Amino acid sequence: MDKTNLQLTLDTRPFAFLEAEALVTYIFDEPDPIQGRLAEIDSSANGLLKRIAGSGEATGKTLEFTLIHAPGGLKASRLLLVGAGKREQFTGAILRRIAGAALRYLKSRSVKNFAFLIREGAAIGDNAQALAEGFITANFETDKYKTEKKNGKEIHSVVLTGYSDSEKAAAEKGLAVGKVIAESQNFTRDLVNEPSNVLTPRVLAEKAQVMAKEAGLAVDILDEKRIAELKMGALLSVAQGSAEPPRMIVITYTPTNAKPDAPVIGLVGKAVTFDTGGISIKPADGMEKMKYDMAGGATMLGAIRALAALKPNVKVICVVPSTENMPGGKAQKPGDIQTSMSGKTIEVLNTDAEGRLILADAVHYAKQLGVTHIVDAATLTGAIVVALANINVGVFGSDQPWTDKLLASAKATGEKMWQMPMDDEYREFIKGSFADIQNIGSGKGGGSITGAWFIREFAGDTPWIHLDIAGTAWNDDAKPWLAKGPTGVALRTLVHLVQSF
Ligand code: BES
Ligand code: ZN
Ligand code: ZN
């Protein structure tokens, strides 16, 4: 599902003459909404749009749909107006959602192709990119294992229109970049969607290897033997309870004109293919969702897949530790003391706080491989859902300039992220009684922050950011622009961050 079967093309001919099952455009919530291109349509349709807006049927409220059949003056058989909210508040993020929501709206009505009309005065390349991202991510369905698909409903092609010949090159470029990013996001979502009986650490590593080969990236898969030789005791402690062996996936992107002393970005992602909690077992209710506990790793794999095609000027190393977290006769137990690859000893007070354990060794190993800047992504804590719900990604950083860069990339790509505090006082919570550190906080509350502090201990002086995506990597309900299930959140931000480094 990494290659989209949706045809996305650009057509600079006058939009009124485009033959399509529908022409889609958007309408702002403003006193006189029939302006610019809407006024053009209106005049050839004998004032139809002014009447619909005047009657209060189409208001421009965000994601309100108005479907008009057989509009006069257009070759398209339908006109779909999507509400875009206030013009002053309009952003690329809103355009992306409008594009996605329009695709899903028309798909559910058995439409197979449509044209999307960009409104007058839009910034060309960025908007074409947002449109491509919106369409391709919206077209992703999580019905892989359903033997009866959605009645075979499928969108085959979308044509972008409203661009002039002089805007064509910039728009084509934006479209191509958007395709790469969205297809990579769907690659991530496809991995996250896989159930844990299919996607074991070994299978994840195989899929990562295939992707890397296809993308022209260097790949090194560490099996359980090499993991043991390297003394990755924290990763092994989580894996010891499982019949499935762990893997450490390492993928490297090297730019063509790489300089020896240039910075290297490390993308580290938690990939627990199923988290039962281990001996500190989770309640049965909702446990099935823990197949998405590998979303951080899948996000990093998707990000480096996109970067391989976009060719930024900076070296990137992706490190993804993968294991199951299972109870059993060989599983680690609360109170066990483990020695991490760094040599730091860890008292495992709760076997369900396993993400930070595997990230400890992954972050240390990434540093050994030469990374100078780290970002990790993990479905790390339930506490981040309490703090930020399913709206914002929790951002934790050890270096404010590096963190600010990431926050700027999040803003630019329309992903909601919120920085959390990392005061030294929280570090006291994980001081060990019988070992160097303990894997859960002894204070009350602040569970996401103590989790972050634990990982930070292994990043040391290397500028480091941690993204807690436990609340945002999975949509419990479908959105108008996105299917229920994996979201692929943070990938766009990470790609932007590397590209703007
Ligand atoms: N994978 C979970 C975090 C999680 C919880 C992700 C809910 C998505 C939804 C993680 O391994 C975990 O179990 N964390 C514990 C930490 C606690 C024991 C300190 C948690 O959040 O309860
Ligand atoms: Zn856990
Ligand atoms: Zn977990």
Q: Which tokens hold the place of 35?
A: 């302006």
**CB of 324 within 8 A of CB of 204?**
no
Distance 272 CA to ligand 3 centre (A): 6
Distance CA 78, CA 65 (A): 13
State which ligand 1 atom lies nearest to the alpha carbon of 293.
1
The angle that helices 201-215 and 168-193 make with each other, rounded to 10 degrees, is 160
**The predicted structure's pLDDT at residue 275:** 99
**The predicted structure's pLDDT at residue 124:** 84
Distance 352 CA to ligand 3 centre (A): 7
Distances in whole angstroms, Cα of residue 100 to Cα of each of 45, 132, 276, 412: 26, 9, 34, 18
Distance CA 264, CA 320 (A): 16
Q: Which tokens hold the place of 162?
A: 């409203």
Q: Please, where are the H alpha helices in 139-229?
A: 168-193, 201-215, 224-229
Q: Which tokens hold the place of 64?
A: 């309100």
**The predicted structure's pLDDT at residue 371:** 98
**The predicted structure's pLDDT at residue 2:** 43
Distance 340 CA to ligand 1 centre (A): 21
**CB of 365 within 8 A of CB of 278?**
no
**CB of 33 within 8 A of CB of 52?**
no
State which ligand 1 atom lies nearest to the alpha carbon of 447.
19
Ligand nearest to the CA of 382: 1
Looking at residue 128, its amino acid is A
CA angle 386, 298, 138 (to 5 degrees): 80
Distance CA 457, CA 464 (A): 10
Backbone angles phi, psi at 371, to 5 degrees: -70, 145
**The predicted structure's pLDDT at residue 112:** 97
**CB of 319 within 8 A of CB of 435?**
no
Q: For a pocket test of ligand 1, which of 192, 289, 380 has the largest count of ligand atoms closer than 8 A to its C-beta?
A: 380
Q: For a pocket test of ligand 1, which of 347, 352, 487 has the largest count of ligand atoms closer than 8 A to its C-beta?
A: 352
State which ligand 1 atom lies nearest to the alpha carbon of 325.
11
Q: How far is CA 319 from the centre of its chain?
A: 17
Burial class (CB in 10 A: 0-12, 13-18, 19+), 147: exposed
Pairing outcome for strands 336-339 and 417-419: unpaired
Ligand nearest to the CA of 277: 2
Distance CA 99, CA 498 (A): 26
**CB of 374 within 8 A of CB of 363?**
yes
* Ligand 1 pocket, CB under 6 A: 275, 293, 350, 352-355, 379-383, 440, 447, 470
State which ligand 1 atom lies nearest to the alpha carbon of 352.
13
Distance CA 328, CA 331 (A): 5
Distance 282 CA to ligand 2 centre (A): 8
* pTM score, whole prediction: 0.97
Burial class (CB in 10 A: 0-12, 13-18, 19+), 7: exposed
- Beta bridge mates, 117: 161
The number of beta carbons lying within 10 Å of the beta carbon of residue 249 is: 27
Q: How far is CA 88 from the centre of its chain?
A: 27
Backbone angles phi, psi at 167, to 5 degrees: -90, -10
Determine which one of 282, 411, 416, 479 is catalytic: 282
State which ligand 1 atom lies nearest to the alpha carbon of 379.
6
Distance CA 285, CA 232 (A): 32
- Which residues, 6 or more positions from 177, have their beta carbon under 8 angstroms from its beta carbon? 129, 132, 310
Distance 352 CA to ligand 1 centre (A): 7
Ligand nearest to the CA of 327: 2
Q: Which tokens hold the place of 359?
A: 């990230």
Residue among 169, 134, 37 nearest 492 (CA): 134
**CB of 376 within 8 A of CB of 466?**
yes
Report which protein residue has its CA nearest ligand 1's atom 7.
382
> Is residue 282 among the annotated active site residues?
yes
Ligand nearest to the CA of 288: 1
Distance CA 165, CA 167 (A): 5
Distance 497 CA to ligand 3 centre (A): 26
**The predicted structure's pLDDT at residue 4:** 62
> Is residue 173 among the annotated active site residues?
no
Distance 145 CA to ligand 1 centre (A): 27
Report which protein residue has its CA nearest ligand 1's atom 13.
352
Determine which one of 356, 367, 405, 492 is catalytic: 356
Q: In which residue ranges of the chain is pLDDT below 50? A: 1-2
**The predicted structure's pLDDT at residue 1:** 45
